[in-house]
Amino acid sequence: MSVETAITRAWQRQAFWLWLLLPLSWLYSLLTLLRRQAYNVGLFSSYRAPIPVMVIGNITVGGSGKTPLIIALVNYLQQQGLKVGVISRGYGGDSSQMPALVTADSLPSAVGDEPCLIVNMTGAAMAVCPNRQQAISTLLEAYPDLQLIIADDGLQHYALQRDIEWIVVDVARGFGNQQRLPTGFLREPISRLKNATVVYHQKPKQPSMSDNYQPSAGGLTMQLSPDTLQTLLPDIQMSSIAPTAGSQVHAISGIGYPQRFFDTLSTLGFEVIPHPYPDHYDFSLTDLLQYTQYPIVVTSKDAVKIRTLFLQQETNKAVKANWQELAARLWILPVTAVLSNDCYQTLQSQLEALNIKIHSNKESH
């Protein structure tokens, strides 16, 4: 088990030993406060893009449903005729090759797994770079007619000025012990949510969130709706039959909060054998070959990297039989973010305040 996986599990069960790290959390809080104040008073410079920027992020470490939300918003805005681009840090990619545009042919090892997923799902113009200014410059040089840029994550990247800021809160996960890193999994204090546009990611039919934090009346909400299982490699899995409710499956997840994925599969009726990996984990064929006998189900984000892994093995005859048998057992569970009408109405109002007009169309979402 990796250190990241171990501490993630400790956060989930609120292990008592985490409180021994409290002095480090105090130091972390002080440094992040001083850093933010340095940007506020102009001690550190920040970049203002020539077109409006919308940042979507969270105050916690790990997954909150941010990427499906971005995909849903990009698809919606495209349907309204808006020319929208996306930027990202490109975590997990090769920073020496950045800034870089992300295309349908980009490799996760070069630009990161989440950017590949976003482009594959939306076809949006996208660029990646740890330096968000360079990412925006690269994006606008290639697509000068963009009207809006959505920044994937970057909530704490104060070197980039933003016009709209949405914070995603996972209702089911809550805020744990409500402490900052590393005692807890908060990047910023809960007070950061005050006066912010907060989207509460809720489970279906879940009335309130843990830790007694509830969305205010009229709050923005979203849910992740699972789709039917899809084949990872259709050419190899032409005759494969997808596992059905009641069957056992290996659930492999390298996302920020893997328990959500496992719970979703359980809700769908599968007998889940969970295999959590660190976020953005770089899977190998050996990792996958150890899970035998039962079908394997992965997330859409992990599927981007695993599919590339299989394509790279096509020329290796020595492992061909093994990976073909494995590929026949691999399935993807896609999820779609379903947003409340308040989300779209709020977005429309915020964009109109920036002189970007879209026409609300309930049929499109």
For residue 285, the model assigns a pLDDT of 85
Taking a C-beta distance cutoff of 8 angstroms, is the pair 195, 216 a contact?
A: no
Helix (H) or strand (E) holding 125: strand 125-128
pLDDT, residue 205, reads 60
Q: Is 304 exposed, middle or buried (0-12, 13-18, 19+ CB in 10 A)?
A: buried
Q: What is the pLDDT of residue 316?
A: 56
Task: Indicate the average pLDDT of the chain.
Answer: 90
Q: Which helix (H) or strand (E) holds 165?
A: strand 164-170
pLDDT score, position 361: 52
Q: What is the mean pLDDT of each run of 10 residues along the chain (365 residues)?
A: 79 92 97 96 96 97 91 97 97 95 95 96 98 98 98 94 96 92 96 93 60 53 94 74 93 92 95 94 90 94 91 61 81 96 95 86 49
Report the candidate in 137, 154, 152 with the shortest Cα–Cα distance to residue 101: 137
> What torsion do the CA atoms of 76, 80, 84, 89 make, to the nearest 10 degrees?
-10
The C-alpha atoms of residue 42 and residue 38 are separated, in whole angstroms, by 6
The pLDDT of residue 328 is 85
Residue 239: the pLDDT is: 67
Our CA angle for 139, 168, 31, nearest 5°, is 80
Residue 254, token pair as written in the block? 């390298």
Output b/e per residue, 308-340; b: 16+ Cβ within 10 A: bbbeebeeeeeeeeebeebbbbbbbbbbebebb
Using an 8 Å Cβ cutoff, are 84 and 126 in contact?
Answer: no
Q: Would you say 231 and 333 are in contact if contact means Cβ atoms under 8 Å apart?
A: no
Supply the pLDDT for residue 350. 97
CA angle, 60 then 275 then 15, to 5°: 45
